Amino acid sequence: MAFGFKVLRATIFVAGIGVLVLMYLKSSPAPKCRPPPVHSAQLTTKTDRPLMLLWFWPENKKFDFQDCKTLFQIDDCTLTDDRSLYSRAHNVLVYHAAIQDDLSNLPTSPRPKFQRWIWFNNGTHTNTSRIEGIQSLFNLTLSYRKDSDIQVRWQLTQKRNSDENFALPKKERLLCWIVDDEDLATKSGERYSYYRELIKHIKVDVFQSSSVKGDTYFLTISSCKFYLSFENSINRDYITETFNGPLASGTVPIVLGPPRKNYEDFAYGTSFIHVNDFPNALALAQFLQKLDKDNEAYMKYFNWRRFFTAIRHPTDEKHKFAHAICQACLHVGIYNNYRVVPDLNKWLLL
């Protein structure tokens, strides 16, 4: 516990510094920290913000660029998908999975000196296709990995008011999972085998993922005491909205994914239960049944809420990549760092 508080204090301290740095960066004159806009007179949009060209729509999931502002309060760049603005774009965001092997669908005209290319990869290293020739094309990386220049992640936000009380949502179920029925019946990944073992010892209420969207998604999760936040792929730093969902809903996530230590890089250690905290599924089931009867112990999993909030992520398909794209927009609007990313294929293997 003492350690937990130390970590929390350190986190708040670091977050505080972050806020100060952000405030400083935001208040410093814009021209100093980014390349001057070119042909600015011809741009119809606000010119004090960098222009970011989305070269491909990932999986053709289009959303309204205004949503960066309405959904995430991000308004730090001007987004466009109009390729004719290529020569003026300060940033070009390229979705990896859409790149053709021979690179023939990438921009062909010469790259302006001020332009930065951002490599966006949403896959894990196990399912990202290798493309020879993408070495030294990019200046920034955007992915779920902590060592990316821009991280895609649902981060906890610090509360302004730390004394707000948390009211536990009404609980009707013990343990739930929102998953695709067909995957559940046919797939053999680690999360499915763990689930099959677990249900021998405890009841799990399963909901079909396609029918639980929007408010229903959060309402469903909040009606459960515990939720199976089982990642579909186990990779370092790969912690997705399946973890954010219960945190945002007032439910305790049971995580299966990278090791506990990795989760603690992003969340308070007593906000979740890790399957590896137990020798087997039976021991986990027994622990959950015990917690079900011990309200005081259960409520301790929500202590982090005195200081942080988890925001609800959009659950509709069309916004699947919106957060990542808006995060990139936030980054380029604030920072001026760039580099030549040397060998992406090697980066992927690390």
Residues engaged in binding ligand NAG (CB under 6 A): 97, 116, 122-124, 127, 136-137, 139, 232-233, 240, 320, 338, 340
C-beta separation of 81 from 339 below 8 A: no
Of 233 and 345, CB closest to ligand NAG: 233
Of 85 and 288, CB closest to ligand NAG: 85
Of 59 and 292, CB closest to ligand NAG: 59
Of 79 and 134, CB closest to ligand NAG: 134
Of 202 and 341, CB closest to ligand NAG: 341
C-beta separation of 231 from 238 below 8 A: yes
Of 127 and 210, CB closest to ligand NAG: 127
E-strand spans in the chain? 51-54, 78-80, 91-95, 116-120, 140-143, 150-151, 157-158, 173-179, 205-208, 224-230, 252-256, 273-274, 308-309
**Gyration radius of the chain over CA positions:** 22
Min. distance of Cβ 321 from ligand NAG in angstroms?
Answer: 6
Min. distance of Cβ 123 from ligand NAG in angstroms?
Answer: 4
Q: Could you give the C-alpha distances from 237 to 34, 153, 156, in angstroms and in order?
A: 30, 9, 15
Please identify which residue in the block is written with the tokens 């790969």.
238
Going by their DSSP bridges, the two strands 252-256 and 224-230 should be labelled as parallel
Min. distance of Cβ 121 from ligand NAG in angstroms?
Answer: 8
273 three-class SS: strand
Of 116 and 312, CB closest to ligand NAG: 116
DSSP summary character for residue 314: P
In sequence order, what DSSP letters do the residues of 122-161 get, joined into one string? -S-GGGPPP-TT-TT--SEEEESSTTSSEE-----EE-S-
Number of neighbours of residue 311 by Cβ within 10 angstroms: 15
C-beta separation of 272 from 181 below 8 A: no
C-beta separation of 135 from 125 below 8 A: no
Min. distance of Cβ 137 from ligand NAG in angstroms?
Answer: 6
Min. distance of Cβ 127 from ligand NAG in angstroms?
Answer: 4
Of 154 and 226, CB closest to ligand NAG: 154
Min. distance of Cβ 130 from ligand NAG in angstroms?
Answer: 12
Min. distance of Cβ 302 from ligand NAG in angstroms?
Answer: 25
Min. distance of Cβ 97 from ligand NAG in angstroms?
Answer: 4
Of 27 and 108, CB closest to ligand NAG: 108
Q: Could you give the C-alpha distances from 140 to 53, 248, 340, in angstroms and in order?
A: 14, 30, 8
In sequence order, what DSSP letters do the residues of 87-128 get, joined into one string? GG-SEEEEEGGG--TT-TTS--SPPPTT-EEEEE--S-GGGP
Please identify which residue in the block is written with the tokens 């309405």.
70
Min. distance of Cβ 320 from ligand NAG in angstroms?
Answer: 5
43, 46, 52, 57 alpha-carbon torsion, rounded to 10°: -90
